[in-house]
Amino acid sequence: MPELPEVETIRRQLEPLLIGRQIHSFQVMPGAERLLRGRAAFDIDAQVRGCTVTAVSRRGKYLSLQLDSDQVIVIHLRMTGSLRYRNVEHENEQFTRAVFRLDGNRELRFVDVRKFGTIDLVERLEDALPALGPEPLSDDFTADALWDALRGRLVALKSALLDQANVAGIGNIYADEALFLAHLHPECPAGSLRPRERSALHSAIRQVLQQGVQHGGASFRDYTDSAGDEGAQQYYVRVFRRTDEPCDACGTAIRRIIVGGRATHFCPTCQPVRQRSRQVTSKRRSR
């Protein structure tokens, strides 16, 4: 469920709460063992016991807790995962799948209805990450860097935005929103963008993600932050899940289509299919 702005919101909340805290134990609930991707809970528990959290970071949609043992806990929330920072006495959330017991009678709870989320323990962060594109809110993310990822590709532009190897952290909400802001049709070939469109897309991506962070993320269905509160970004979306509602730029009914297997929302007037898609040139060399 959570995309970059939601994970960043959680990171900002947890950072001051977790830094300096010692982990007393780690436990996985019965039936949720798969979230460790084959590793045994007792093994993780043995390694993190007594360790202190020294940093809380984010890369794309991954959250990581650096430990003073020089190991890193890497968490991905996938579709319905969330984290809760609670006092031990606080009522247990339904669908709690794993718990880090901390000093001061605190707990970090991993809650996840669908059990898609994962927790890894590694020596170096990169060991737990797949190939990821640039961080869209960092200086590394330039219009040129974006174009490097899109050039030569025939896939639907939206699918390219969802590919974490191109840009890290964009998900279904912010892909639709960025394309709306950039006036680009979600199905146009990724490699067909002209220079102005590339820079429009580049700034649209940054804008929607920044706005998402400012509003504490978007709570459409499941997302809540580490205190259990909702974000506000759902009140600011222009197209996402607004099927048949009037576009607030031009009044045209928002359309919903499926692109790359994902529900996709756009304004057919503000985001027209390009008359003649320009040739996709220079094939991109394989990474």
Partner DNA sequence: CGTTACCTGAAA
Partner DNA sequence: TTTCAGGTAACG
Q: Give the residue numbers annotated as catalytic, written as ranges.
A: 2-3, 61, 262
User: Least distance from C-beta 43 to DNA, angstroms?
Assistant: 20
153 lines the binding site for DNA (CB under 7 A): yes
Q: How far is the CB of 75 from DNA (least distance, A)?
A: 12
**Closer to DNA by Cβ: residue 49 or 206:** 206
Contact status: 20 vs DNA (CB under 7 A) = no
Residues within window 212-241 making contact with DNA, judged by CB under 7 A: 217-223, 241
Q: Enumerate residues 6+ apart whose C-beta is below 8 A from 196.
A: none
Q: Please report how close the Cβ of residue 103 comes to DNA at its closest, in angstroms.
A: 31
162 binds DNA (CB under 7 A): yes
Q: Which of 102, 173, 205, 267 binds DNA (CB under 7 A)?
A: 173
Given 11, 59, 61, 185, the residue binding DNA (CB under 7 A): 61
> Minimal distance in Å, beta carbon 197 to DNA?
19
Contacting residue, 18, 36, 53, 60, with DNA by CB under 7 A: 60
Residues contacting residue 30 through CB under 8 Å, at least 6 positions apart = none
Residue 180 in the binding site for DNA (CB under 7 A): no
**Does 6 help bind DNA (rule: CB under 7 A)?**
yes
Residue 130 touching DNA (CB under 7 A): yes
- Binding residue count for DNA, defined by CB under 7 A: 38
Q: Are 161 and 191 in contact (CB under 8 A)?
A: no
Please give the structure tokens belonging to residue 164: 């974490």
- Specify the residue, 51 or 167, whose C-beta has the smaller distance to DNA: 167
Separation of alpha carbons 78 and 57, rounded Å: 17
Query: Which of 156, 181, 193, 205: binder of DNA (CB under 7 A)?
Result: 156
Contact string 71-100 vs DNA (x = CB under 7 A): -----x-xx---------------------
- Stretch touching DNA by CB under 7 A, among 137-145, 168-176, 196-204, 247-255: 168-176
Residue closer to DNA (CB basis): 6 or 8: 6
Does 11 contact DNA by CB under 7 A? no
- What span, in angstroms and rounded, lies between the C-alpha atoms of 192 and 203? 18
Query: How many angstroms separate the CA atoms of 118 and 75, rounded?
Result: 6
- Residue 192 touching DNA (CB under 7 A): no
Q: Given the rule CB under 7 A, which residues bind DNA?
A: 1-3, 6, 31, 34, 60-61, 76, 78-79, 113-116, 130, 153-156, 159, 162, 164, 171-173, 217-223, 241, 260-263
